[in-house]
Amino acid sequence: MNIQLEVVSMEQMSDKKRAIFKSTMELVRENGFHGTPMSMVAKHAGVAAGTIYHYFESKEHLLRELFNYAQQQAVAVVERESTATIPFKECFFKLWTGLYTFYRDNQDLLRFFEQFVNSPYHTTMPPLAEDRFYTLLFAFFERGIQEGELKKVSPKILATLTHSSIISMAKMTASGRLHFDRKELQQIQQLLWDGIALDR
Amino acid sequence: MNIQLEVVSMEQMSDKKRAIFKSTMELVRENGFHGTPMSMVAKHAGVAAGTIYHYFESKEHLLRELFNYAQQQAVAVVERESTATIPFKECFFKLWTGLYTFYRDNQDLLRFFEQFVNSPYHTTMPPLAEDRFYTLLFAFFERGIQEGELKKVSPKILATLTHSSIISMAKMTASGRLHFDRKELQQIQQLLWDGIALDR
Amino acid sequence: MNIQLEVVSMEQMSDKKRAIFKSTMELVRENGFHGTPMSMVAKHAGVAAGTIYHYFESKEHLLRELFNYAQQQAVAVVERESTATIPFKECFFKLWTGLYTFYRDNQDLLRFFEQFVNSPYHTTMPPLAEDRFYTLLFAFFERGIQEGELKKVSPKILATLTHSSIISMAKMTASGRLHFDRKELQQIQQLLWDGIALDR
Amino acid sequence: MNIQLEVVSMEQMSDKKRAIFKSTMELVRENGFHGTPMSMVAKHAGVAAGTIYHYFESKEHLLRELFNYAQQQAVAVVERESTATIPFKECFFKLWTGLYTFYRDNQDLLRFFEQFVNSPYHTTMPPLAEDRFYTLLFAFFERGIQEGELKKVSPKILATLTHSSIISMAKMTASGRLHFDRKELQQIQQLLWDGIALDR
DNA sequence: AATGAATGAGAATTCATTCAT
DNA sequence: CATGAATGAATTCTCATTCAT
């Protein structure tokens, strides 16, 4: 089963399915997986418990599909930001900002993501190579290396470092522990760039 | 309630309590919080279900205490590595390697950590300032700034960036997706250092 | 929260709820509160354990609602017997007999009542003034005093004395220790009447 | 097993046993039988859980013995008050007041009594004839009949009526719902006397 | 498609009782 | 005698899932 195949865009989705997704994301954010019974999702989404089972085989399927759906959105951001026909450095900053903004503005999603990724559900997920999100990121950093902009380090490392910096900053903001203004954000990106860029 | 106060060192701990901690960590790694019933912990730890409740008020308390205990171990690493009387740069590499090695070699703990931090349990935890782990990290980076080794950026940012890089690399290793040799690890640390170090 | 408001008549009640009430009353009679696990109620009522929790929030709620329901039935008897447009004395005998018969013929209820009233559940019940059962009784005896049939004693005392005599006789009969024929019952009522009636 | 034989007077009892009895009575009053685990009794009585089992075979035995012990105290009151060599009527008032005062001043005991009597424990108790408390009461009322002071009604009825009036008044006082002054108490007794006394 | 009452397996927790010290 | 840690059966309650309407 290729998870990418099940993916449906927001527009094609029925109202109920969308409501179920939305409710699940919100509720899981607040209460976690186990703090979110199907009955709670049903109530919050304004549907009957049984209705959820028309759209999703089981709770696990709901969560997996929601994860795919959420990941798709992140993929869309990467696709949009990483393929601009602009100089690589500029594109790197654009990508960092784009993803950071996406996570910051979709905290339900970020939280759900983090929970899912660290849950046993995720362990049975397809391997990295098939993961479109990372595939795109890898390609992006590969390009940077090819263009002589980045140090000759495994793109996986570069991608992981960059993404983890984005996520951790977005979480920091989300937690309310720290707030960054535009200047600070640029500073952070610059730090990272200084680290990975090839000196010339 | 200061979470550090409840902490008891491994040696002072009763055998049963230690066994319960150990079993919980292992089982949660594999099955997650909700995939790990108390009965399973009991069986795995070789005690009766009721016995767990002599040591811990509830499942939530067990998990919280385990988190504190785990965090303490990480704190010990930071304490050990970040206070060496050696040049800051050297100390930075030592700290990075020390923490990375710790997480890599304690994958149960790492996994448990990540699950806990992203669970609703963690939202009700004490704020960052009281967190000894981050307090130590902040102080370390503060020192780097004072000594003119690091760029003048918020220590919180430096600490977060560094720690997230360590965690993400350890998780990458854990997942088996990627393996790093000594040289690559040094490369990664160097990247980071290049980013945060003050040019001279 | 006015306990009378929650009350639902037997007819409006779902079959399952009625069966649960009935089973609880019977089983509590025989085994007491703690001798009656929810699983036993479920089995006896022919429903699944979980079903009980559709109708009642918890065991405590079940018992409280059952008490209200039982009390309501006793109230109905008092209402019926105490409001007849007949001379007060006659009405007093009618009321005594009516309540006695009710308790004698509903021993499950009587037993449940006594257990509940002497349990910690009851201590958190609404005060006497809001208790429709006693309100009715008080009014009845007030009438007796007004009409010059009864001694000028607090209606609360008269009500308590009368009701305790009814209960104790019903329990005596229930225990099988003593059986009263019609003549003896009249004798007992006469005793009480002789005590409380105003001599003329 | 004759329950009277196990009875031990307060003085012969070990300190621990007395403490256990006292604690049980207090705790059961507040929390009921099931709200009072042995561990709670142990803690409250200042002994180890295991110690209770040196003195009592089981929780049920503890409760039964406590009931016997409590009943003994009530028996002592009846014995004291009902055997005075004074006119019957005077003795009746003395007995009523004595028992009422006893219950009013020993509310833990009264509450425990009522709980026990209405519990399944009591159903397996020895029959009425062997019950010293009621035996004494019956004899007392028998005497009243013999002496021509009371109507010719079964002494059981007279005893039950009288005792239930005492208990219900003591409970009323205990609940705080009603308070009686000396005059009112006399009034109540007089009512009862008027009811049961033979007109002459 | 939608409903939501009903199910029942499974989870957390309690507590009377035991027994090694 | 006294202790209290340990036991594990029993209990309350939850919740994913089903199915008759």
Report d(CA D104, CA D110) in Å as an integer.
8
Phi first, then psi: what are they for C150, rounded to 5°? -115, 155
Average pLDDT for A99-112: 96
Cβ–Cβ gap D196/C195 under 8 Å = yes
Contact, D48 CB vs strand F, < 7 Å: yes
Do A43 and A126 fall within a single domain? Answer: no
Report d(CA D160, CA C172) in Å as an integer.
8
Report d(CA C97, CA A149) in Å as an integer.
102
Do C154 and C182 fall within a single domain? Answer: yes
pLDDT beyond 70 at A7:
no
Contact, C49 CB vs strand F, < 7 Å: yes
Q: Report the distance from CA of residue D48 to the C1' of nucleotide F4 in Å, as an integer.
A: 7
Rounded to 5 degrees, what angle do the CA atoms C115, C119, C121 make? 120
Q: pLDDT at position A11, please?
A: 63
Do C25 and C78 fall within a single domain? Answer: no
C43 Cβ contact list (under 8 Å, min separation 6): none
Q: pLDDT at position A121, please?
A: 87
Report d(CA B175, CA A124) in Å as an integer.
11
Q: Report the distance from CA of residue C116 to the C1' of nucleotide F12 in Å, as an integer.
A: 19
**Model confidence at D2, in pLDDT bands (50, 70, 90)?**
very low
Residue type, A168: S
| D35 inside 8 A of chain C by CB | yes
Report d(CA A68, CA B192) in Å as an integer.
31
Contact, A58 CB vs strand F, < 7 Å: yes
Average pLDDT for A122-147: 83
Chain B residues whose beta carbon lies within 8 Å of the beta carbon of residue A177: 127-128, 156
Is B61 part of any domain? no
Do A41 and A87 fall within a single domain? Answer: no
Is C43 part of any domain? yes
Residue C75 near residue C7 (C-beta atoms within 8 A): no
How many domains does chain C fold into?
2
| C126: DSSP letter | P
Chain C to chain D Cβ contacts (< 8 Å): 97
| Per-residue model confidence as pLDDT tens digits over D103-144 | 999 999 999 999 999 998 887 666 655 688 999 999 999 999
Do D26 and D124 fall within a single domain? Answer: no
Phi first, then psi: what are they for B34, rounded to 5°? -75, -20
Is B34 part of any domain? yes
Residue B194 near residue A195 (C-beta atoms within 8 A): yes
Q: pLDDT at position D124, please?
A: 65
Is C3 part of any domain? no
Q: pLDDT at position C92, please?
A: 97
**Model confidence at D25, in pLDDT bands (50, 70, 90)?**
very high
Q: Report the distance from CA of residue C37 to the C1' of nucleotide F10 in Å, as an integer.
A: 9
Do A143 and A119 fall within a single domain? Answer: yes
| C50 inside 8 A of chain D by CB | no
Q: What is the CA radius of gyration of chain A?
A: 18
| Per-residue model confidence as pLDDT tens digits over A150-170 | 999 999 999 999 999 999 999
Do B47 and B73 fall within a single domain? Answer: no
Contact, B31 CB vs strand E, < 7 Å: no
Average the pLDDT over each of A176-180, B167-171, C47-51, C165-169 and give the range with the smallest value: A176-180
Residue C167 near residue C103 (C-beta atoms within 8 A): yes
Do B87 and B163 fall within a single domain? Answer: yes
Averaged pLDDT score across all residues of chain D: 89
| A139 inside 8 A of chain B by CB | no
Long-range CB contact pairs, A62-67, < 8 A, 24+: A62/A20, A62/A24, A63/A24, A63/A28, A63/A33, A63/A116, A63/A121, A64/A3, A64/A121, A65/A6, A66/A21, A66/A24, A66/A25, A66/A112, A67/A112, A67/A113, A67/A116, A67/A121, A67/A122
pLDDT beyond 80 at A16:
yes
Nearest to B136 by CA among B12, B11, B1, B4: B4
Q: Report the distance from CA of residue B49 to the C1' of nucleotide F1 in Å, as an integer.
A: 30
Q: Report the distance from CA of residue A51 to the C1' of nucleotide F20 in Å, as an integer.
A: 15
Residue type, B34: H
pLDDT beyond 80 at C200:
no
Q: Which chains touch A (3 or more CB pairs under 8 A)?
A: B
pLDDT beyond 90 at A37:
yes
Residue by residue, what is the 3-state secondary structure of chain D? CCHHHHCCCHHHCCHHHHHHHHHHHHHHHHHCCCCCCHHHHHHHHCCCHHHHHHHCCCHHHHHHHHHHHHHHHHHHHHHHHHCCCCCHHHHHHHHHHHHHHHHHHCHHHHHHHHHHHCCHHHHCCCCHHHCHHHHHHHHHHHHHHHCCCECCCCHHHHHHHHHHHHHHHHHHHHHCCCCCCHHHHHHHHHHHHHHHECCC
User: Hey, what are D194's tokens?
Assistant: 């008027």
Q: pLDDT at position A176, please?
A: 81
Q: Which residues of chain B have pLDDT under 70?
A: 1-12, 124-130, 200
Residue C189 near residue C93 (C-beta atoms within 8 A): yes
Do D49 and D78 fall within a single domain? Answer: no
Residue B41 near residue B2 (C-beta atoms within 8 A): no
Residue C82 near residue C140 (C-beta atoms within 8 A): yes
Helix (H, G, I), strand (E, B) or coil at C86: coil
Is D5 part of any domain? no
Do C127 and C39 fall within a single domain? Answer: no
Q: pLDDT at position B3, please?
A: 31
Is C61 part of any domain? no
Cα separation values, C126 from C15, C70, C122, C146, D174, Å: 29, 16, 9, 28, 16
Report d(CA B127, CA C189) in Å as an integer.
73
Task: Find the CB nearest C160 among D151, D172, D195.
Answer: D172
Q: pLDDT at position B2, please?
A: 31
pLDDT beyond 50 at C4:
no
Nearest to A32 by CA among B119, B34, B115: B119
Cβ–Cβ gap C192/D188 under 8 Å = no
Do A84 and A164 fall within a single domain? Answer: yes
Q: Go through chain B and tell me how many residues it has.
A: 200
Q: Is D in contact with C (3 or more beta carbon pairs below 8 Å)?
A: yes
Average pLDDT for A135-155: 95
Chain A, residues 177-196, CB within 8 A of chain B, namely 177-178, 184, 187-188, 191-196
Q: Which domain holds residue C35?
A: 13-56
Task: Find the CB nearest C119 among D32, D153, D163.
Answer: D32
Is A123 part of any domain? yes
Nearest to D175 by CA among D103, D120, D94: D103
Is A180 part of any domain? yes
Residue A134 near residue A71 (C-beta atoms within 8 A): no
Q: Is B in contact with A (3 or more beta carbon pairs below 8 Å)?
A: yes
Residue B74 near residue B104 (C-beta atoms within 8 A): no
Cβ–Cβ gap A156/B169 under 8 Å = no
A42 CA: nearest nucleotide by C1': E4
Average the pLDDT over each of B102-106, B157-161, C172-176, D191-195 and give the range with the smallest value: C172-176
**Where is C53: in which H helix or E strand?**
helix C49-55
Q: pLDDT at position D9, please?
A: 60
Q: pLDDT at position C5, please?
A: 34
CATH number at residue C187: 1.10.357.10
Q: Which chains touch B (3 or more CB pairs under 8 A)?
A: A
Cβ–Cβ gap D164/C168 under 8 Å = yes
A26 Cβ contact list (under 8 Å, min separation 6): A44, A108
| C130: DSSP letter | G
Cα separation values, C110 from A7, C73, D18, Å: 63, 11, 34
Residue D25 near residue D148 (C-beta atoms within 8 A): no
User: Hey, what are A83's tokens?
Assistant: 């393929």
Q: pLDDT at position C178, please?
A: 78
Average pLDDT for C23-27: 96
Contact, C16 CB vs strand E, < 7 Å: yes
Do A42 and A68 fall within a single domain? Answer: no
| Per-residue model confidence as pLDDT tens digits over B171-183 | 999 888 778 889 9
Average the pLDDT over each of A6-15, A173-182, D29-38 and give the range with the smallest value: A6-15
Asked whether the CA dihedral D120, D124, D128, D130 is positive or negative, the reply is: negative
Cβ–Cβ gap B151/A191 under 8 Å = yes
Residue B52 near residue B44 (C-beta atoms within 8 A): no
CATH number at residue D30: 1.10.10.60
Q: pLDDT at position A6, please?
A: 45
Helix (H, G, I), strand (E, B) or coil at A57: coil
Residue C1 near residue C40 (C-beta atoms within 8 A): no
**Model confidence at C104, in pLDDT bands (50, 70, 90)?**
very high
With CA atoms as reference, the chain A residue closest to B125 would be: A175
Report d(CA B52, CA B54) in Å as an integer.
5
Average the pLDDT over each of A24-38, C111-125, D62-76, D134-148 and give the range with the smallest value: C111-125
Which residues are paired to B135 by β-bridges?
A: none
With CA atoms as reference, the chain D residue closest to C129 would be: D177
D14 Cβ contact list (under 8 Å, min separation 6): D55
Residue by residue, what is the 3-state secondary structure of chain B? CCCCCCCCCHHHCCHHHHHHHHHHHHHHHHHCCCCCCHHHHHHHHCCCHHHHHHHCCCHHHHHHHHHHHHHHHHHHHHHHHHCCCCCHHHHHHHHHHHHHHHHHHCHHHHHHHHHHHCCHHHHCCCCHHHCHHHHHHHHHHHHHHHCCCECCCCHHHHHHHHHHHHHHHHHHHHHCCCCCCHHHHHHHHHHHHHHHECCC
Report d(CA C59, CA C63) in Å as an integer.
6
Q: pLDDT at position B176, please?
A: 80
